[in-house]
Amino acid sequence: MKYTWWLLQVIMTLVSAFFLLFGFDMIMGSYSLNDPFSFIMTFFAASFVILISLTLMISFPIKMIRVYRQLNKPDYKRES
């Protein structure tokens, strides 16, 4: 397997972790809003950002683990 694929997976995991932190910051900032409509819209937008980024942050390492296990199977024929 190429090293660029592994690097891309790690980078995408870090990017999703950044957006997870951004979503938490946005949800905390929504509580300081005075307008109820702005609060609701910001709160649900932040929840959506957290949901998507958490899903991606879980799926990238799972994909990496599955590929790693596939590569380390004894019957796997490695190509040079």
Establish if 12 belongs to a structural domain: yes
Give me the mean pLDDT over the 5-17 stretch: 94
Establish if 79 belongs to a structural domain: no
Confidence of residue 76 (pLDDT cuts 50, 70, 90): low
Which residue segment(s) compose the domain that 16 sits in? 3-71
**In whole angstroms, what is the distance from residue 79 CA to residue 53 CA?**
35
Establish if 77 belongs to a structural domain: no
Q: How many domains does the chain have?
A: 1
Establish if 51 belongs to a structural domain: yes
Please give the DSSP secondary-structure letter assigned to residue 76: P
pLDDT for position 3? 85
pLDDT for position 73? 81
Instruction: List the one residue out of 48, 45, 54, 47 whose CA is nearest residue 16.
Output: 54
Establish if 62 belongs to a structural domain: yes
Structure confidence by residue, pLDDT tens digits, 20-74: 999 999 999 999 999 999 999 999 999 999 999 999 999 999 999 999 898 888 7
Establish if 59 belongs to a structural domain: yes
Establish if 37 belongs to a structural domain: yes
Establish if 30 belongs to a structural domain: yes
Specify whether the CB–CB gap between 34 and 54 falls below 8 A: no
